[in-house]
Chains A and B, each alone.
Chain A
Amino acid sequence: MALSQLSRSLTGLLVETSSVIHQRTFSVTAVAAAIQKMSRVRVVDNSPLGTTPYHRAPRVIHVYTKNGIGKVGDRVLLAIKGQKKKALIVGHKMPGDRMTPRFDSNNVVLIEDNGNPTGTRIKVPIPTHLRNMDGDYSKILAIASSFV
């Protein structure tokens, strides 16, 4: 009985072909929420704080919106390497508006308190609809190398 359940869940999974195909032993649901407190994020700029490895992933500890949900363009507070740092969300796994890009990871760019980006370059594609949004996004767009 357990084996049949297992095989049913595995067939529902789309797995990328790699050299070794890792298979889960449990079923997964797709992501439903955007970025909120305690979600792990990926820092995508070349700041020293974002690139040096640490045994804990950077986590969001506060989202600066009215509800606690962070979408693209919202500022959040991260806990990185035992310090607090502000950051800007530049992409999340949750599907947003039609004709806006959806990313495979929750991407975040580190920011100072005055709004200047901490890093100097961003390799990951940045969505261009940031430009039409209210807020100070021109600096992030200026250091981005590719747009989506």
Chain B
Amino acid sequence: MMNIHRCKKLISPVFKSSVLLEQTGVFRSVCSALKAPCHSHHSPCLSRRFTANVSSCQRWHHVYSSQSDTKRFYSQVCSESSDSKRSAGVFQEESHEMETDSNQRPSETFSLDVLVSLLRQENAVDICVIKVPEQIKYAEYFIVVSGVSVRHLRAMALYAIKVYKFLKKKDQANVKIEGKGAEDWMCVDFGNMIVHFMLPETREVYELEKLWTLRNYDEQLKSMPVETLPEDFIYDVEVTK
């Protein structure tokens, strides 16, 4: 019973504060559900919703780019021609169904938007999201977050994992907190996103944002002395297998 209560508490803030997420979720699910693409007279209604999304989140460059991706997908879908057609009544009913359904069991994925919104809700200090370039095949987004105290960091990390567990699909692996022993630096790896929870002092020491934005031009890297081989070094026999 406690579980249900906690889950309800979990869903309502995440979804109330991020209305645009729900819209994008509905938008994507509607797009996928319409295997045969839409009527021409349905498109103005969908695009109106979409422009509302775009205007509300123009602050973040990367979020905006993800929105524009969905828009491109939508226009691709619309441009295809099809035989089967859907009536207006069915479409309305479907979208209404999606919304009620998502209140009970959300059909969204644990994306960057969800993560950042929950971090903000947890009063995280200095959220820094860095989009990792494609050449570094590590992850897509690298997030560094500060907290007020050790307990705050732990609570944020546990809450993030709780939300992830709730929103993940069956085939996705579970996520664990790395570095539980170190109180001042905890890490969670969500596949395409990595979050680091650090205290401000630790953040000053490591300066991860500097490293991940200026990749090879980082100051600490440059100040490291260049390693030279000793003069009497002999290379070993090549091992081939």
Contact = CB atoms under 8 A, between A and B. Distances in A.
Interface of A: 12-16, 22, 24, 28-31, 46, 51, 93, 95, 102, 104, 112-116, 120-121, 123, 128, 131, 135-139, 141-143, 145, 147
Given A139-B179, A143-B206, A51 B225 contact: yes
Given A114-B181, A145-B216, A15 B189 contact: no
Interface string B151-192: 000000000000000000000000000110111110101000
Query: Taking each of A12, A24, A139, which has the highest tally of chain B beta carbons within 10 Å of its own beta carbon?
Result: A139
Closest 5 CB pairs of A and B: A114-B182, A136-B178, A138-B187, A114-B181, A30-B239
B137 A145 contact: no
Contact of A120 (B179, B183, B206, B235): B206
Contact of B237 (A13, A102, A131, A135): A13
Interface stretch (B4-12, B86-94, B207-215): B207-215
B211 A147 contact: no
The dominant DSSP class at the B interface is loop
Query: Taking each of B189, B207, B237, which has the highest tally of chain A beta carbons within 10 Å of its own beta carbon?
Result: B237
A136 B179 contact: yes
A81 B22 CA distance: 58
Nearest to B215: A145
Nearest to A117: B206
Interface string B123-144: 0000000000000111000100
B41 interface: no
Given A15-B234, A28-B237, A145 B211 contact: yes
Given A28-B237, A136-B179, A143-B206, 20 more contacts: A30-B239, A51-B224, A95-B239, A104-B235, A104-B236, A116-B185, A120-B206, A121-B211, A138-B179, A138-B187, A138-B194, A139-B179, A139-B185, A141-B138, A142-B142, A142-B196, A143-B211, A145-B216, A145-B218, A145-B221
A12 to B, nearest CB: 8
A123 B221 contact: yes
Given A30-B239, A136-B187, A137-B178, A121 B218 contact: yes
Nearest to A114: B182
Nearest to B195: A138
B121 interface: no
A122 B179 CA distance: 19
A14 B238 contact: yes
A120 B208 CA distance: 9
B137 A120 contact: no
Contacts of A145: 211, 215-216, 218, 221
A15 B178 CA distance: 43
Interface in B216-241: 216, 218, 220-221, 224-225, 227, 232, 234-239, 241
A142 B143 CA distance: 11
Nearest to B241: A95
B236 to A, nearest CB: 7
Contacts of B216: 145
Nearest to A98: B241
A31 B237 CA distance: 9
Contacts of A142: 142, 187, 194, 196, 206, 208, 211
Contacts of B137: 128, 147
B136 A120 contact: no
A143 to B, nearest CB: 6
A12 B236 CA distance: 11
Contacts of B142: 142
Contacts of A30: 236-239
